[in-house]
């Protein structure tokens, strides 16, 4: 049991965020998502939001990977279109609102089909509309979504 706990802790250290930090950002994301989803009359679930953040950044608000920024790993090209600087994209509240606005947009475009929304979020609308798919990403998000639903989110 001790070995499992040490491996678990090591995973979070290697992943760039401590377990306590991850828990803080998970709780923060759940709370702020609920507020913003309610404000925007979104049909998205908190479980879906948490699953995307878990896969994208492991709840690390300072994560920068291949020109993608923050909790939701917002793409630099989208940031330019939205008029959001890369620095501002690392602000968790700005990151969350941009991502939820984009996800709400995708829900409208793809008639609330969650699998299409998730794939288009990952690939971008253009690539998705041209037929690109990443089944492994979709599977990860849906698996984590089920986990968060079981946890009561």
For residue 69, which phi and psi values (nearest 5 degrees)? -130, 135
Q: Residues 30-43, buried b or exposed e (16+ Cβ, 10 A)?
A: bebbeebbeeeebe
> Are the C-beta atoms of residues 90 and 62 closer than 8 Å to each other?
yes
Domain boundaries, the chain: 17-150
- Return the structure tokens found at 53: 């953040």
How far, in Å, CA of 134 to CA of 42, rounded? 25
CB 55 within 8 A of CB 15: no
pLDDT of residue 17: 62
Collapsing DSSP to helix, strand or coil, 71 comes out as coil
**Two tokens, residue 123:** 């690939």
Residue 89: what pLDDT? 96
| Other beta carbons less than 10 A from residue 17's beta carbon | 20
- pLDDT at position 19, please? 85
- Domain range 17-150, its CATH number among 3.30.2320.30, 3.30.260.10, 2.120.10.70, 1.10.530.10: 1.10.530.10
Distance CA 40, CA 125 (A): 21
CB 10: neighbour CB atoms within 10 A?
Answer: 10
pLDDT in single tens digits along all 153 residues of the chain: 444 433 444 344 444 568 889 999 999 999 999 999 999 999 999 999 999 999 999 999 999 999 999 999 999 999 999 999 999 999 999 999 999 999 999 999 999 999 999 999 999 999 999 999 999 999 999 999 999 999 999
Q: So what's the pLDDT on residue 6?
A: 39
């Amino acid at each position: 049991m001790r070995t499992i706990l040490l491996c678990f802790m090591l995973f979070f250290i290697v992943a760039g965020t401590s377990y306590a930090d991850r828990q803080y950002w998970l709780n923060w994301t759940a709370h702020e998502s609920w507020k913003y989803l309610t404000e925007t009359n979104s049909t998205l679930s908190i479980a879906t939001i948490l699953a995307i953040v878990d896969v994208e950044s492991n709840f690390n608000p300072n994560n920068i990977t291949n020109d993608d920024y923050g909790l939701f790993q917002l793409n630099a090209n989208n940031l330019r279109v939205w008029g959001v600087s890369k620095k501002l994209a690392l602000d968790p509240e700005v990151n969350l609102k941009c991502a939820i606005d984009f996800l709400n947009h995708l829900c409208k475009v793809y008639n609330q089909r969650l699998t299409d929304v998730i794939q288009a979020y990952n690939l971008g609308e253009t690539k998705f509309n041209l037929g690109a798919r990443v089944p492994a990403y979709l599977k990860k998000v849906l698996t984590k979504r089920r986990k968060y639903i079981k946890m009561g989110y």
